[in-house]
């Protein structure tokens, strides 16, 4: 194999890994995990998150969920 083929393969593997990690993280933030100290679950202006969590609105879909930290590209519901 040539050096260029190895570089292209390595780049494809890295890009795939990053995309998969982002998808898994978004799904984990949206689900309410049982027995795990996390924010999880949905929220709204009338249904706030539990203490220590913030209500995040995804710009692409408008979906809201509770998170322990701000998400880049999303807005925080006050």
How many whole angstroms separate alpha carbon 71 and alpha carbon 3? 38
Judge contact between 41 and 68, C-beta under 8 A.
Answer: no
* pTM reported for the whole predicted model: 0.46
- pLDDT tens-digit profile of 36-69? 446 778 888 888 888 788 898 888 888 888 888 8
> Any bridge partners for residue 66, and if so which?
55
The number of folded domains in the chain is 1
- pLDDT tens-digit profile of 18-42? 665 665 556 566 555 554 446 778 8
Map residue 66 onto helix, strand or coil: strand
CA 20 to chain centre: 11
Which secondary structure element, helix H or strand E, spans residue 57, and what is its range?
strand 54-58
Domain that holds residue 32: 3-77
């Amino acid at each position: 194999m040539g050096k260029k083929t190895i570089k292209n393969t390595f780049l494809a593997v890295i890009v795939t890994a990053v995309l998969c990690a982002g998808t898994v993280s978004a799904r984990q933030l949206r689900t309410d995990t049982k027995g795990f100290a996390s924010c999880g679950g949905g929220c709204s202006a009338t249904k706030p998150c539990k203490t220590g969590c913030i209500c995040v609105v995804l710009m692409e879909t408008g979906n809201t969920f509770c998170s322990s930290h701000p998400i880049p590209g999303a807005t925080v519901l006050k």
